[in-house]
Structure 1
Amino acid sequence: MALHYLWWIVALVLIGGEVILPGYFMLWIGIAAAAMGIVLLAAPDLGPIAQAVIFAAFAFVSCFVYWKLVRPRIERIPAGNERLNRRGEQMIGQRYELIEPIVNGRGKARVGDGMWLVSGPDLPVGTKVEVTGVDGTTLQVKAWAS
């Protein structure tokens, strides 16, 4: 078996390990192993000591590139919507129409193609309401003054 295949297998194992246990560490060393496989493809008579030194250099350079160039860019990417899995909180400030009146503080509003429980002051069907907060799966609303 040619040694460049061995380096590519090591690269696949390291990158696969990164997929299973993410942390960016094994990815960059796996990239270095893949680069070493390419070097051995071009220079198949390279001895084991030279391979080890070149691999160490590739690993150092790839980790350095990650640390100084890639990582700062990743950290600048906005985290996104911190309320992604809290759908009710995403509705704060939105306006909906009541499909059941709010009586004794409880009613229902149409949200998209569904309906949500709402709590707030007593209001008739058809009133536009604005979401002011969330309590579990119940939207807290007030009458929207247009």
Structure 2
Amino acid sequence: MEVVDFIGQYGAWSWIVAGLILFALELMVPGGFLLWLGISGIVTGVIVMVQPMDWPWQWLVFGVLGLVSISLWVRFNRNRHQNSDRPYLNRRAERFVGHEGVLEEPLMNGYGRLALGDTVWRISGPNLPIGTRVRIVGSEGAVLKVEPI
């Protein structure tokens, strides 16, 4: 009951301080939720300054503001599409779709190897002899799919 006594004694200032503490915690534990709870705490403090109310109503206002602000943030953030300057950053195999190469080893039993840049990739496709020019048409995991040109 110490929290209730603290809120009762300091009123609106306790909510503002709690909001600032939640802001500071957001800096240490990023994720976005503590930011919105901190804003809810500060807004609750301002509301209590303007319109005094008992502590159960203060908690209700804080809870409603917190739930509404977090749900709006999640909805906005979920629908936001972020364009990247490196769209293939963790999808290296997809980056090579459309590239061409020459087989240095034959493609036998549907599998072989192809050197692209500084990496030797496992490839799949029809059986082909050494020296055949191939085009990469897709990927399946770390295996590049090729077809003869």
TM-score, normalised by the number of residues in structure 2: 0.53
Match of 1:109 in 2: 115
| Secondary structure, aligned partner of 1:31 | helix
Structure 2 residue 147 is the aligned partner of structure 1 residue 142: yes
1:94 aligned partner, one-letter code: G
Task: Kindly state the Cα deviation for residue 140 of structure 1 after the two structures are TM-superposed.
Answer: 2.7
Contact 2:136 2:144 in 1 (8 A): no
Q: Which runs of 5+ in 2 are unaligned?
A: 1-9
Q: Percent identity?
A: 20
Q: 1:123 to 1:34 in 2, by over 3 A?
A: farther
Structure 2 residue 128 is the aligned partner of structure 1 residue 122: yes
Structure 2 residue 19 is the aligned partner of structure 1 residue 11: yes
CA distance in 1, matches of 2:134, 2:20: 57
Q: 1:109 to 1:20 in 2, by over 3 A?
A: same
RMSD: 4.6
Q: Which runs of 5+ in 1 are unaligned?
A: none
CA distance in 1, matches of 2:61, 2:73: 18
Q: Deviations over 1:91-111 (max 9, x none)?
A: 474323236243434221315
**What does 1:1-146 align with in structure 2 at a 5 Å threshold?**
6-15=14-23, 16=25, 20=29, 22=31, 24=33, 26-36=34-44, 39=46, 49=54, 53-54=57-58, 56-67=60-71, 69-78=72-81, 85-88=90-93, 90-91=94-95, 93-98=97-102, 100-104=104-108, 105-111=111-117, 114-120=119-125, 121-125=127-131, 127-134=133-140, 137-144=142-149
Relative to its length, the structure with more strand (as a share) is 1
CA distance in 1, matches of 2:67, 2:36: 6
Task: Kindly state the Cα deviation for residue 141 of structure 1 after the two structures are TM-superposed.
Answer: 1.5
Structure 1 residue ranges, 4+ long, deviating more than 6 angstroms after superposition: none
| Secondary structure, aligned partner of 1:102 | coil
Task: Kindly state the Cα deviation for residue 71 of structure 1 after the two structures are TM-superposed.
Answer: 3.5
For this pair of structures, how many residues does the alignment match? 133
1:11 aligned partner, one-letter code: G
Q: Deviations over 1:22-78 (max 9, x none)?
A: 584x543321213345x39xx5xx9783x76456425423532443x4343233235
| Secondary structure, aligned partner of 2:128 | coil
CA distance in 2, matches of 1:77, 1:133: 28
